Amino acid sequence: MMKGMLRNRGFATVGTSSGLLVAVNPKRYGIIISAPQSSRITLDFGGNAVLDSGITLYPSTLPLQLVYHHFGDSIHEDIFAIGAVGSQTIGWMEVFWP
């Protein structure tokens, strides 16, 4: 981790309706989001997620890693998620400037 950066981690339950996965953080530098365990989920930035119309994560894949110098200011926005079936818990960890 870069010197002086902080980290925050948490989890959220993702269901078949779009919901907030990670709240906005204007100081976010990077975030790691775990892959779902049972069914695909789709992520969107700044607004409601629509299944298969954003970044879709599939079960048993590697975690998604997003870094500011690749994705720019969009990484600072709210991150929403929606699942294909049922509900599942998704973990995340962000690093940010103090």
Look at residue 75 and tell me if it is in a domain. yes
Look at residue 52 and tell me if it is in a domain. yes
Domain that holds residue 45: 6-96
Look at residue 34 and tell me if it is in a domain. yes
**Quick one: pLDDT at residue 3?**
75
Torsion angle (degrees, nearest 10) of CA 65, 33, 83, 10: -160
Q: Per-residue confidence of the chain (98 residues) as pLDDT tens digits?
A: 567 899 999 999 999 999 999 999 999 999 999 999 999 999 999 999 999 999 999 999 999 999 999 989 999 999 999 999 999 999 999 999 99
Question: Which has the closest alpha carbon to 53: 64, 72, 40?
Answer: 40
Look at residue 65 and tell me if it is in a domain. yes
Q: State how many domains the chain has.
A: 1
How far apart are the C-alpha atoms of 91 and 98, rounded to whole Å? Answer: 22
Look at residue 1 and tell me if it is in a domain. no
State pTM to two decimals.
0.92
Look at residue 59 and tell me if it is in a domain. yes
- SS3 of residue 68 by DSSP: helix
Which CATH number goes with the domain that contains 31? Answer: 2.60.120.770
**Quick one: pLDDT at residue 76?**
96
